[in-house]
């Protein structure tokens, strides 16, 4: 059996966001000998991007991604402009952190200022996502920040992301960065794509164009009691993580394995050190 290299473990800080601030998470990762981190922008903002970057560098951590940019669709030009401005700031932060990629989720149907969905035009929303990524890509290339499109499970199509499959993400890359290696790629998060009958073929397709920028792991619990905050620890659910990793590796992925677990009723309630110890163990034994 092919076990993963323990040195490839990275922790998405959402996994311990209830327990620790970003500086606390950084020192905890160093304490546990974990080499990779993927922080969220709200956490980075609390520390200040410059300070966060320095702390992460001092701890010797690789930044496997910054979460996240996107949310492009809006009902009017001003809304779309505001989203793009915010996304440019995300690029600047990713550059400062030396992130391997900036994770981009598309956004769902257009919302008004209060967050209410104001359109049922899903195809139109997908066009806004394509146009938004295209515009952001120019800026990100200038800053040397690779953008990683993360398709989200279709249950989020209305409110978070209308890019829902790897095929869609690959199509976007084909359209916006047709020659590969152009700073636009894909983040494969098993929680979102494990069910996809075309998963293996689409991982191969992404790999053939050097588009596999990030790999996020957790597990799918049965039953899942919350659409957002009930992700499982590797080994506690039904995803064949070893099989999917083998597909990623066969497609040329050599990056880290980022554990990303939102878990309001379980892991967020436990001691942070226990969570990290379990992540290390399950990464080795169950992923
Ligand atoms: Zn993810």
pLDDT digits (tens, 9 = 90+) for 139-183: 999 999 999 999 999 999 999 999 999 999 999 999 999 876 689
CA-CA-CA-CA dihedral for 150, 153, 154, 159, to nearest 10? -70
Res. 113 pLDDT band, cuts 50 70 90: confident
- At residue 179, the pLDDT reads 79
Q: How far apart are CA 164 and CA 207, in angstroms?
A: 18
Question: For the whole prediction, is pTM greater than 0.95?
Answer: yes
Q: Is residue 117 part of a domain?
A: yes
- Report CA(89)–ligand 1 centroid distance (Å): 20
Residue 1 has pLDDT above 80, yes or no: no
- Report CA(225)–ligand 1 centroid distance (Å): 19
Residue 48 has pLDDT above 70, yes or no: yes
Residue 272 has pLDDT above 80, yes or no: yes
- Report CA(175)–ligand 1 centroid distance (Å): 23
- Report CA(259)–ligand 1 centroid distance (Å): 8
Burial of 138 (0-12, 13-18, 19+ CB in 10 A): exposed
- Report CA(216)–ligand 1 centroid distance (Å): 5
- Report CA(214)–ligand 1 centroid distance (Å): 9
The pLDDT > 70 percentage for the chain reads 99
- Report CA(234)–ligand 1 centroid distance (Å): 14
Q: Is residue 1 part of a domain?
A: no
Here the tokens at position 50 are 């410059």
- Report CA(189)–ligand 1 centroid distance (Å): 5
CA-CA-CA-CA dihedral for 24, 256, 107, 47, to nearest 10? 20
**Mean predicted confidence (pLDDT) in 207-225:** 97
Res. 80 pLDDT band, cuts 50 70 90: very high
Q: How many domains is the chain partitioned into structurally? A: 1
Q: How far apart are CA 206 and CA 213, in angstroms?
A: 10
- Report CA(41)–ligand 1 centroid distance (Å): 14
**Mean predicted confidence (pLDDT) in 71-94:** 96
Q: Is residue 218 part of a domain?
A: yes
Contacts of 237 (CB under 8 A, 6+ apart): 219, 220, 221, 222
- At residue 2, the pLDDT reads 86
Per-chain mean pLDDT for the chain? 97
Residue 27 has pLDDT above 80, yes or no: yes
- Report CA(192)–ligand 1 centroid distance (Å): 8
- CA 92 and chain centroid, separation: 17
Burial of 87 (0-12, 13-18, 19+ CB in 10 A): buried
Closest CA to 264 of 5, 7, 9, 17: 17
- Report CA(123)–ligand 1 centroid distance (Å): 24
* Cα separation values, 271 from 49, 155, 251, 264, Å: 27, 30, 36, 13
- Report CA(102)–ligand 1 centroid distance (Å): 11
* Cα separation values, 23 from 17, 39, 152, 192, Å: 11, 11, 28, 29
- Report CA(257)–ligand 1 centroid distance (Å): 11
- Report CA(12)–ligand 1 centroid distance (Å): 8
Task: State the residue range of the domain holding 192.
Answer: 6-286
- At residue 106, the pLDDT reads 93
- Report CA(19)–ligand 1 centroid distance (Å): 19
86 within 8 A of 56, measured Cβ to Cβ: no
- CA 131 and chain centroid, separation: 20
Here the tokens at position 210 are 């050097």
Query: What element of type H or E holds 103?
Result: strand 102-105
- Report CA(95)–ligand 1 centroid distance (Å): 19
- Report CA(260)–ligand 1 centroid distance (Å): 6
* Domain CATH number, residue 134: 3.20.20.150
* Cα separation values, 99 from 52, 114, 148, 257, 278, Å: 12, 32, 11, 15, 25
- Report CA(48)–ligand 1 centroid distance (Å): 23
Q: Is residue 228 part of a domain?
A: yes
116 within 8 A of 67, measured Cβ to Cβ: no
């Amino acid at each position: 059996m092919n076990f993963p290299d323990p040195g490839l473990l990275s922790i998405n800080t959402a996994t311990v966001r209830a327990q620790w601030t970003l500086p606390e998470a950084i020192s905890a990762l160093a304490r546990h000998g974990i080499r990779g981190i993927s922080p969220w922008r709200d956490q980075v903002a609390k520390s200040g991007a410059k300070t966060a970057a320095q702390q992460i560098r001092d701890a010797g951590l690789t930044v496997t991604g910054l979460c996240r940019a996107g949310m492009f669709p809006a009902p009017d030009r001003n809304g779309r402009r505001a989203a793009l401005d915010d996304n440019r700031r995300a690029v600047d932060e990713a550059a400062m952190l030396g992130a391997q990629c900036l994770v981009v989720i598309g956004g769902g149907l257009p919302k008004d200022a209060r967050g209410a969905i104001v359109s049922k035009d899903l195809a139109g929303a997908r066009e806004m996502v394509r146009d938004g990524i295209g515009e952001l890509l120019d800026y990100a290339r200038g800053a040397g920040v690779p953008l990683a499109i993360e398709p989200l499970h279709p249950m989020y199509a209305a409110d978070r992301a209308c890019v829902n499959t790897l095929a869609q993400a690959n199509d976007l890359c084909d359209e916006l960065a047709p020659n590969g290696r152009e700073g636009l790629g894909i983040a494969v998060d098993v929680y979102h794509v494990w069910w996809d009958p075309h998963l293996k073929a689409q991982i191969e397709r992404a790999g053939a164009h050097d588009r596999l920028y990030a790999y996020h792991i957790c597990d799918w619990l049965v039953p899942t009691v919350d659409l957002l905050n009930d992700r499982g620890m590797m080994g506690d659910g039904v995803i064949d993580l070893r099989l999917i990793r083998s597909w990623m590796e066969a497609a040329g992925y050599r990056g880290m394995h980022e554990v990303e677990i939102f878990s309001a009723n379980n892991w967020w309630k436990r001691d942070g050190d226990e969570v990290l110890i379990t992540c290390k163990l399950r990464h080795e034994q169950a992923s």
